[in-house]
Amino acid sequence: MNTQLVLLAFLMFLVTYPSRALGLLAPAMDRLPRRALDYLQLVGPAILAALAAVNVMVVATDSGPRFHVGLEWLAVGACLAIVAWRRNLFLGLLAAVAIAVVGRAAGAA
């Protein structure tokens, strides 16, 4: 395993989880405006979504990174559509994983 990945995971922990736990750690959080609370709740998922987007849209090649459109886009799109339709993240993720597994088994990815 690459030690840089361990460092990256640790940095992600330092940025993501404290922002999500802010409501538990600060006793006066309930006095903040509702808009601020909504924003703070979405910081962690936004960071994780940005990291995931890079893994879907960019492929590292010998000549450098390049833009990529492939099976992953279909999986992410299906996940977003199912989550918006059913309001269930688990079903969306399950569909995305199923699309990726079936597509890779068929040789499409």
Location of structure tokens 């993501």: 16
pLDDT, position 106: 93
The pLDDT > 90 percentage for the chain reads: 20
| pLDDT tens digits along 26-38 | 777 778 788 988 8
pTM of the prediction?
Answer: 0.57
Integer Cα distance of 19 and 29 in angstroms? 12
Name the 3-class secondary structure at 82.
Answer: helix
Judged by DSSP in three states, 51 sits in helix
Largest CA distance in the chain: 54
Rounded Cα–Cα distance for residues 90 and 20 (Å): 20
pLDDT tens track for 68-90: 888 988 998 999 899 999 988 89
